[in-house]
Amino acid sequence: MTTFDSLLADITPSGEGREITNPATGDVVGRAPIHTVDDLDAAVTAAHAAQPSWAALGHEKRNELLLAAADAIDASAEALAQLLTREQGKPLNGPNARFEVGGASGWLRAAASTPLDPETVIDDGDSHAVLHYRPIGVVGAIGPWNWPMMISVWQFGPALRMGNTVVVKPSEFTPLSVLALVSVINTVLPEGVLQVVTGDREVGARLSSHPDIDKVMFTGSTATGKAIIRSSADTVKRLTLELGGNDAGIVLPDVDPAAIAQDLFWGAFINTGQTCAAMKRLYVHDSIYDAVVDELAAVAASMPMGVGTDENNVLGPLQNKPQFDIVSRLVEEARASGARVVMGGNPDADQPGYFYPTTLVADIDNDNPLVQEEQFGPALPIIRYSDVDEALAMANGLDVGLGASVWSGDRDAAREVAAQVEAGTVWINSHGGVHPMIPFGGVKQSGYGLEFGVEGLKALGVPQVING
C-alpha cells in the first residue's frame, strides 16, 4: 500500500530542489526538482523516440494500459489526496482533494473507454472516403495550480489514448502533485511515454516553441495563452487553450431562492473559488435580490474553512500569495466604491496561511473591478438587474466566455435565455459541472478547442481522409 511518505520519497530529491510549502500552514511539504531547458529537451527527445512504438500498440492495447494506470491511481488514492491537500491547500473532503483524485482516475478511464471509429463520409458507388484520426506525435501539456492532478489527466489522458506521447509541465506552485500522479501512472506505462518536467517560465516558453512538440495543451490565464500562441506560431503547432473565464450566472425572477442557494454557493465557491469555470459574477432580478443574498449568505456561513487535513473543512486557503493579494485588492476596491460587504472581506492577519474568508458583495455596480476582473477566489459580487435584456447585456459585456448559467423554475424559459449567452457552456440551474462525455471549451478570449468525449479525442489526433 502506498503511503504519503513513500509517495513523497519517490518524487523528491533528498535534500535538494526547491521547497514547496503548504498554503494553509506555511510548513514545508517537500522539495521539487529544478529542471532546466536542457532537461526539457532531453524529455522531448525521449518522448519523440518512444512515440512510434506507443502508437504501434494500437488502441486496444493502449486502452488496456490506461485502464491499468487508472487502477494504479485508485490504489494510491489516499496518499495522492494527502499530498494534494498539503500542496494545493484544498481540503480532503467536499468537492476537493479526494474528489479530484477520483476524477483523475475516472477521466483516464473515460479517455480509454470512449470509442472513436473511422467514419465513412461518403460511399455512393462512385466515391468512397473514410475519415481516420492518426496520432499527432509529441504533445506538450502545461497545467494549472488549481486542479493540478485532474486537469493534467484531462490533457494527457486523451493524448495517450490517441497514440501520442506527452511531456507535462506542471505549475511552479503545485509540481509535487503532478510528479506523484505521473510516478504512479508510470508504474504501468512504457518508458518515455509520459514524462514530467518542472521548471520556470523559461522551461514553459521552450516547450511551447520546441520544434519536436507537435501540439500544446494549456489551461491557465488568457495572457499566458496569448504568449503560447505567439511562441508556437513558427512551428504551426496545434493548440487547445482553456483560458480565463469570469463566468456569469443569471437568476430569473421565478425561482425559489432557498431552493437554489446551495447550488449557487458551490457554483461560485467550489475549490474556494479557484476554478476556471466557477461562477464569478451573479446577476439577480430585483424582485428576489434581497432574498437570494440572504439565502446565499446563510449557506455560506455554514461552510467550514480551514486546514485541508482537518476532515471537517470543505473550504481551504488561496493557493498562493499573489492570488491572495488579487482577491484582497478587488474586495477592498469594491468596499471603497460603496458596495455592501454582506459577509467576509476581513482576513485575519494573524492566521497562518493564505486564508481569505468567504465573501459576498452586494449592491455593486457592474463596472466595478470585482465584477469586470476574474477574481479567482472566494469573493462573489451580486449585481441587481431589472429585465432580462439588461442582464444579458451585462453578462455578455466582457471579452471572455468560458461558462455561464441561468437559474429558473421554467427550464424552457431558461433555455431561451441560455441561447443568448455568449459562453462555451451554459448550465441550467447549476454551474460548473463537467462530464467526461460532454465537450467543454470556451469562446472569445476564453480560448479555443474542445476537451472531453469524442470531440476531445479528435482534438488529439490528425484527421486523415483515405479517398478511394
CB distance 381 to 225 below 8 Å: no
Determine whether 276 is an active site residue: yes
Among candidate residues 78, 87, 100, 242, the one labeled active-site is 242
Q: Determine whether 242 is an active site residue.
A: yes
HSE-up (13 A, CA, CB side) for residue 243? 24
In the numeric block, which cell numbers belong to residue 366? 457592474
Residue 32: which of 139, 203, 170, 195 has the closest Cα?
A: 170
Catalytic residue among 276, 295, 374, 422: 276
Residues with a known catalytic role: 242, 276
